[in-house]
Every structure is written in C-alpha cells, then in structure tokens.
Amino acid sequence: MHITAQFDSGNIEVIAAHEPDAIQLAIRNDNKSDFFQWFHFKLYCEAGVEHIMTIVNAGQAAYPDGWVGYEAVASYDRETWFRVPTEYNGSELVIRHIPEQESVYYAYFTPYSYERHMDLIQWAQQSSLCEHIYLGPTLDGRDMNLLVIGEPGDHKKKIWVTARQHPGETMAEWFIEGFLSRLLDDEDGVARSLLESCVFYVIPNMNPDGSVRGHLRTNAAGVNLNREWAEPSLEKSPEVYYVLNMMQATGVDFYLDVHGDEALPYNFVAGSEGVPSYNDDIHQLGEQFKRLLMAITPEFQVEHGYEVDAPGTANLTVASNAVGERFKCLAFTLEMPFKDNANLPDLDFGWSAPRSQQLGMDVLSALFGIAKSLRS
Ligand code: GEM
Ligand code: ZN
C-alpha cells in the first residue's frame, strides 16, 4: 500500500499506512498560515479490500462544521469524481471505501488542475471574441491571466468576474469554465445579445500559487486574498493588486466574486449591503438578479446564506464590498457548496463540477435579465 500527494494541488501527510483498516493521515497547513481543509491524495491499494482512512486533524480545520454531513470525492480516472462514505466524529474525518481498482484519488472537492487552467486560457484565446491579457507574476512566478470578452467601448457596461481567490474552492473555476463556454458560444442568443451592450473581464483563477500548493484559503505567502482589497500590495497580494488596478482602468458596472462554502449545503449570494454607498437602486437590481436566477434554476436559493451586514458595517477588505463601494455598483460574492444542494441532493455525486459549470451558464441568463438596467 502507498499514499502520495506529490502532484498539482496535492495535500496530505501520511502518519501511518501499514494496514488498510488503520490508515492515519493529516492535512497540511497552507504555507505560513493556520488555515487548512483542502486535501487531495492518491492511494495505491488492494482492490476489494475496505480501506479506512482517518484524517486525525480534521477537527482543527478552518471550518469544522464543513465536515458535518460531508462526503469526500474519489476518482479512478481523474475525470469522474463520486462521493464515498465519510463520517466526522467531532475530531477526526473517517473515509471508508472498498476500491474497485488498484489505485484511486481522493479529494475535498473535484480538483481543477493548473494544466486545465492553462488549457482554459488558451482555449478562450482562440475565440475572436476574446483578448487574453497577462497582468503580471504571482509570488511563485506563475501568470495572472485576464480574459476580456467583447469589444470594449465607452457605451459598454463593464462586467467583472473573479474566481478562486480561495484556491481550495475549486468549484469556482469549474463555474467559470461553464460561464465562458456559453459566453464564447457564437450561436448562443443570450451571449450574443449581452456582448452587444457589455464587455466582460474574467479572472478564472485569482490564486494560481495556492491552487498548485494544495492550499485551502491563501496565496504562497499565506495571505487570504479576500481580505486584501482595501490595500493590496505587490509584496503580499500581487494577485489583487494587479486586478484592482485593471478595474480602476476599465471601471466596473457589475461584479461577481465566485467562491465555495464549506458548511452551508446551498448555492447563494452575499451582497454588499453594508457598504456606505449601498442604496435602494442597487438593492432593487440585486433583488431582480436573485429572482431571475431562482426562476432559471432550482439550484439557487435565497433562504440560506450569510448574515446581511447592517448599513455601514461592511468589511471593506472583502472583494465584493470593496469593489461595490469603490465603483458604486452591484457586487456579489457567489457561494457554491462543498457538500451538496440540500434542496436537490444527488446521493452519488453531491455538488459537482458539472453542476458548477451549469450554474455558470445559468448566471449568464440572469445577467441578461438585468443588463439593460446596469448603468453604462
Ligand atoms: C467569505 S466571502 C466574504 C463575503 N461575506 C459577506 N458576508 N459578504 C470569506 O471570504 O470569508 C466566504 C468564502 O471565503 O467563500
Ligand atoms: Zn472563498
């Protein structure tokens, strides 16, 4: 038996792996950080034998409530990822699985590899609708990639979408893959109509270094990028620094920051109700967007989500708040679940990459419904 995590986004420490029914593991912290929760490893095993894998430090993870009602994902071919029996006893996460093949991958959610990210960027660049812009290097020297979709113009509405500030929230980049597949489809009426009045600025991965390093929440320096939007710096948070500078150059009329949530088994958005400039026009537009998205898909709901900030109390280091305030625009954080959509559960796969992709496509339809009301 052998266990490894020596690959893109790999994260596990092996404590003991002598007997299949007594495997002891621990998740590694993000670099220079106390955060951890993302795991991704490969087991070489005896098919047909039950393997019991205990993550002994699960109780100290960033969001322990995320383990309640959670099941790990597994894959033989790294394409199809299914859920496996998993229990949380208050301190340890225990994965029980009888592999059908001689090796199997396990992860917190379906991984989105850096190779796939680079393929997505070059695929998008093939479209005559898309301009690919290099914003600058990350702390580990990877590329920050911006995709501009549509012809910029003073009369155009500027729609900004960022994803995966928190690298372990891989559903965010699966969402972007679906969003782009529709936006760049020159036979899709919604996409074609949107591109007549809007230009899209899309960052598929805000945190390439944390993604490859197998982090949950931070960049190479252990910095939570979603607390850097008030004063980003090249030394700590170049990822945010580049993007905010580009936003300043283009302007922003609508902003969506795409994340995953460890604990709540729902898809939801969090607005910028607590920023000083929040007003009734922004509120009404936001309510219309949510109503439209609920009418388009049962995967979205408004009953469950984060507490709404009281007026003037928003944390202005958070992206959706900082951008909503600076550009006086409608701004949302969109959250997808690591577990499942409790309103429409799938016992075999839970929330998944395909459902994240579909939600990305559906959000484009909701955007179409409010595009004419966005200021230009
Ligand atoms: C959040 S996203 C922050 C937005 N919160 C509210 N209430 N507007 C974070 O960054 O902590 C969750 C996440 O990381 O996905
Ligand atoms: Zn997040």
In this structure, what is the dihedral angle of CA atoms 174, 175, 178, 184, given to the nearest 10 degrees? -110
Q: How far apart are CA 328 and CA 277, in angstroms?
A: 6
CB atoms within 10 A of CB 233: 11
Q: What is the pLDDT of residues 210-228, one digit of tens each?
A: 999 999 999 999 999 999 9
Identify the domain boundary among 84, 107, 130: 107
> What confidence score (pLDDT) does residue 375 get?
78
Q: How far apart are CA 168 and CA 202, in angstroms?
A: 19
> What confidence score (pLDDT) does residue 376 get?
57
Q: What is the pLDDT of residues 192-215, one digit of tens each?
A: 999 999 999 999 999 999 999 999
Is 211 in the same domain as 319?
A: yes
Is 173 in the same domain as 306?
A: yes
Identify the domain boundary among 54, 88, 107: 107
Pocket test for ligand 1, best of 217, 273, 306 (most atoms within 8 A of CB): 306
**Domains held by the chain: number:** 2
Q: How far apart are CA 235 and CA 303, in angstroms?
A: 40
Give percent of the chain with pLDDT exceeding 90: 99
**For ligand 1, what atom is nearest to the CA of residue 169?**
15
Is 18 in the same domain as 164?
A: no
CA–CA–CA angle 172, 357, 298 (5° rounding): 100
In angstroms, what is the span from residue 333 Cα to ligand 1's centroid? 7
Q: What is the pLDDT of residues 279-323, one digit of tens each?
A: 999 999 999 999 999 999 999 999 999 999 999 999 999 999 999
The set of protein residues with a Cβ atom below 6 angstroms from ligand 1 is 166, 226, 259, 261, 270, 306, 318, 320, 333, 335
Query: What is the CATH number for 137?
Result: 3.40.630.10
Query: Does 173 have pLDDT greater than 70?
Result: yes
- 246: CB partners within 8 A, 6+ apart: 133, 135, 146, 201
Is 88 in the same domain as 118?
A: no
Query: What is the CATH number for 90?
Result: 2.60.40.3120
> What confidence score (pLDDT) does residue 172 get?
99
292-309 burial, b at 16+ Cβ within 10 Å, e below that, comes to bbeebbebbbeeebeeeb
Strands laid side by side in the 103-107 sheet: 2-4, 40-44, 103-107, 73-75, 82-83
Pocket test for ligand 1, best of 226, 267, 268, 339 (most atoms within 8 A of CB): 226
Q: 346 pLDDT band (50/70/90 cuts)?
A: very high
What residues make up the domain containing 339? Answer: 114-373
Identify the domain boundary among 54, 78, 107: 107
